[in-house]
Amino acid sequence: MRKRLVIAGVAAWALVLVGLAVYSYHRDPATVPGQTTVAQARATMDRVTGELSAVSSSVKISEYAESPCEITNARSGRSVKRELTFTTTPGDEATLLRSIAAELPKAYHASTTQGDATVTLYADAGDFVAVRGRKGADPGSVVVSLLSGCREA
């Protein structure tokens, strides 16, 4: 009798754990980029591209660049990158980067470094999409990169 109660208790506990795992899988948000897809990253990048395009009309938007990566040693994935190149008066690159940071939604927690010579922009667009900005190679250019991290293809 006691043995049956132990077996029934273990079986009930196992069912509770399986039920919670299934519930969590379908309801809880992702905690790492590998739990999301490239399509989700692209949707977020499209939204951010629209927000950044509203900051300045002199912007060139690149196509998506995908590259293979490893989510884990056993799972491969893809990472996505998109660059937006803004043009401004040479010498005003730092001002433009600060303006871009100020125009992004508050939820992105956008910030820039303080030095004018090497000012950079950092922001989190949500859904594990990073926004990074820097002075471009050409005078008067600013490059803002959208980076997805490694995700399921």
Lowest-pLDDT choice from 15-19, 30-34, 125-129: 30-34
pLDDT of residue 130: 95
- Rounded to whole angstroms, how far apart are CA atoms 80 and 148? 5
Question: What's this model's pTM, rounded to 2 decimal places?
Answer: 0.80
In this prediction, residue 141 has a pLDDT band, given cuts at 50, 70 and 90, of very high
User: Are residues 89 and 138 in contact, defined by beta-carbon separation less than 8 angstroms?
Assistant: no
pLDDT of residue 67: 95
In this prediction, residue 148 has a pLDDT band, given cuts at 50, 70 and 90, of very high
pLDDT of residue 66: 94
Q: In this predicted model, what pLDDT tens digit does every residue of 76-124 receive, in sequence order?
A: 999 999 999 999 999 899 999 999 999 999 999 999 987 767 889 999 9
- Rounded to whole angstroms, how far apart are CA atoms 83 and 133? 9
Q: In this predicted model, what pLDDT tens digit does every residue of 27-77 receive, in sequence order?
A: 777 666 667 889 999 999 999 999 999 888 789 999 999 999 998 888 899
pLDDT of residue 116: 64
